[in-house]
Amino acid sequence: MFPHPSDFGNIPYARQDINQSDIDAVAETLRSPWLTQGPAIPRFEEAVGKYVGVRHAVAVSSATAALHIACRALAIGPGDWLWTSPNTFVASANCGVYCGARIDFVDIDSRTYNLSVECLKEKLVLAKKENRLPKVVVPVHFAGQSCEMEAIHGLSKEYGFRILEDGSHAIGGTYQGMKVGDCRLSDITVFSFHPVKIITTAEGGMALTNNPELAERMSRLRTHGITSKPERMLSRPAGEVWNYQQVELGYHYRMTDLQAALGLSQLARLDSFVSRRRQIAENYDQALSSKLIFPWQHPDCRSSYHLYVIRIRKSQCGKTQQEVMEALGKARVGTNLHYIPVYRQPFYEKMGFRSGYCSEAENYFREAVSIPMYPALSDGQQKHVINSLRDILD
């Protein structure tokens, strides 16, 4: 139905920003004794932890891996439910499937496109009656704007679920003046460092928590379920030297030192990335055609603007989403669609989900277009995007 973003234009919808100091940091690591499992990883973990204000950080090979080990640490399994937003990347739901859990979706808020607290409340009331309350809820901070964590946290106390924040879009953003990822109102938060995200390690992710047991468990799951801490070993026959033990089934989800060195260098640039993204958003807010529906900002949030999503409503601007995407493509402006509701994917439809299941998410996805948003987008390029949209709509 939709053209692939790479079919389009010279201005992509997103891309990384790599400078000489990033390159130097990686090159220096290449010359060091450690390509992996070296000193850059704990340094990167400590630096991200300090930046967001959280006690423990576990660097892994992707946010998907982080979501998976987070679900394992939260002990979700067969018979349990994981609830998330339909307006997300499939990984936010797949992590529950990996663990044998069943998945359900909570419809989105019509203004923030985040999981709706009202819908969550209604669904919890019903689920309680039917004795199928979720074990884990995964709020996704869409486009870099935090979900309403205070309300979600309140509901978690009332209904007894754990909270795993998918902050893949949101490093550098704040909620109620505090950094996303501080886990003040959740059990675990994950970040993604994929090249289209706010900072990059090529592939990479991180799981953050204030709970030392969850941190311990996640770092063990990251490396095959192996521990080298004597106090964590299961049995130690007298006189035997055990330098490590596999105590459960884990994975190989480690980040390399090369990636962590890149991550450290990128982290030093994070605040400048976010302020540039916010500047670009402000320019769009002011200059784009008023026939569009603009991204709304919740007063509690300061978005890191991973995405800038406009909505194209035919009754309002005379064009469809498809027409606008195609016309922008011809003008060499890259676009993308974030997101097709996850349950509309064939894999999830096979579980019994049908179109129309979350009506707000479906209304949204028929109108949403992500337009170019990344720190290296120049003023001239942004003008071209703005003028192209004006030509199409006015």
Ligand X SMILES: *Cc1c(COP(=O)(O)O)cnc(C)c1O
If one asks whether residue 374 binds ligand X (CB under 6 A), the answer comes out as no
Instruction: Decide: 267 and 44 in contact? Cβ < 8 Å.
Output: yes
Pick between residue 133 and residue 198 the one whose CB is nearest to ligand X: 198
Binds ligand X (CB under 6 A): choice among 16, 87, 92, 223? 92
Q: 317 Cβ partners below 8 Å, 6+ apart?
A: 289, 291, 292, 393
Minimum distance from residue 62 beta carbon to ligand X (Å): 3
Minimum distance from residue 286 beta carbon to ligand X (Å): 27
**Per-residue binder mask for ligand X (CB under 6 A), 122-141, x = binder:** ------------------x-
Which span (30-38, 62-70, 123-131, 174-182) binds ligand X, by CB under 6 A?
62-70
Tokens standing for residue 55: 């006690």
If one asks whether residue 205 binds ligand X (CB under 6 A), the answer comes out as yes
- 10 Å CB burial of residue 182 (0-12, 13-18, 19+) is buried
Pick between residue 68 and residue 276 the one whose CB is nearest to ligand X: 68
Find the radius of gyration of the CA atoms of the chain: 22
Q: How far is the CA of 185 from the CAs of 51, 84, 156, 181, in angstroms? A: 17, 16, 10, 9
Binds ligand X (CB under 6 A): choice among 16, 29, 64, 174? 64
Strands 162-166 and 174-175: unpaired
- Of 162-181, binders to ligand X (CB under 6 A) are 166, 168-169
Minimum distance from residue 205 beta carbon to ligand X (Å): 5
Instruction: Decide: 87 and 93 in contact? Cβ < 8 Å.
Output: no
If one asks whether residue 147 binds ligand X (CB under 6 A), the answer comes out as no
Instruction: Decide: 363 and 293 in contact? Cβ < 8 Å.
Output: no
CA atoms within 13 A on the CB side of 175: 23
Q: Reduce the DSSP state of residue 371 to 3 states and report it.
A: strand
CA atoms within 13 A on the CB side of 359: 1
Binds ligand X (CB under 6 A): choice among 162, 194, 217, 276? 194
Which span (5-13, 60-68, 124-132, 367-375) binds ligand X, by CB under 6 A?
60-68
Minimum distance from residue 169 beta carbon to ligand X (Å): 6
Chain positions contacting ligand X, by CB under 6 A: 62-64, 88-89, 91-92, 140, 166, 168-169, 192, 194, 205
